[in-house]
Amino acid sequence: MTVPTLAGRRVLVVGASSGIGRAMAVGAVRAGAEVVMAARRKDLLDDAITEAAGGTAVEADVAKPEDCARLADEAGHHLGQIDLVAFAAGMAPLRRIEETSAADWAATMATNVVGLNLLTSALLPRLAHSAVVAALSSEAVDHARYGLVAYGASKAALDASLRHWRVEHPEIRFTCVAVGSTVGTDFSAGFDRGLLASAYEAWTRQGLTQKTYMNADDVAEVLLGLLATTLAFPGVSVEHVTLRSPAGAFDDADLVAQRPARAQTDSASTTGAK
């Protein structure tokens, strides 16, 4: 049997400026797909296009409804009917729950939930029959993490949104991808290092910190292979998949030994950056 590829497929990657999203966009171009790469940071999109030697950049912030509508128009203009949408945009403020502000809640929900829904609505006339919309979620949905309340709640809402999309639009296949801890993303770039150290200790006590993390490039390759195969078999829908490192979790003794180094590098990443 021929191994399915993305050659000739029409792909929109949202959140393509860094992390898993960027790796997916670059990988899709190299696999022979026509790719529109969307994100807020145009300079990083241009770098990704140079790296991939192909693709089209669209500067857009999915937290803005007008950008969702414009992105759908531009993606349709460049691609025609779209076979695959990979939604890797995401944000996560690191805050204690009582310190999470209204602005934190609004920005996180706007990017991680509302943006997905508004963009998908705008894309509907442009999606091919049996197209796949794959959105990156998080293990934080099922395992609450200290300091990530807005992020975890937004990903739970994203998961629920995809379930509703399946009910109302069975002609499109919606895949929720829960991603575990991954390095090579911008997830923790804006985190306060002191609070991150406290969060890391709490995550370790909860048994949530694994001894090794996945790499963003590896995660992207696995996802591209899975999604290419899904597209090749329109009678099969992959509704939920979880990617995590096979390594075991740290215990308290590991925490004492590893704290200084890990507090600086931990990303607890579950999405590519916007």
pLDDT single digits (tens) 101-120: 999 999 999 999 999 999 99
CATH top class, domain 10-189+212-247: alpha beta
Annotation marks residue 151 as catalytic: yes
Sequence-distant (≥ 6) Cβ neighbours of residue 187 within 8 angstroms? 19, 90, 92, 267, 268, 269, 270, 271, 273
Closest of 163, 180, 190 to residue 243, by C-alpha: 180
The amino acid that residue 167 corresponds to is V
pLDDT tens column, 128-160: 999 999 999 998 898 899 999 999 999 999 999
Sequence-distant (≥ 6) Cβ neighbours of residue 184 within 8 angstroms? 19, 23, 215, 216, 217, 269
pTM of the model: 0.90
How far apart are the C-alpha atoms of 153 and 11, rounded to whole Å? 28
Q: Is the pLDDT of residue 24 over 90?
A: yes
> Is the distance from CB of 270 to CB of 136 less than 8 angstroms?
yes
How far apart are the C-alpha atoms of 40 and 62, rounded to whole Å? 8
> Is the distance from CB of 252 to CB of 69 less than 8 angstroms?
no
Q: Which residue in the list 146, 151, 200, 213 is annotated as catalytic?
A: 151
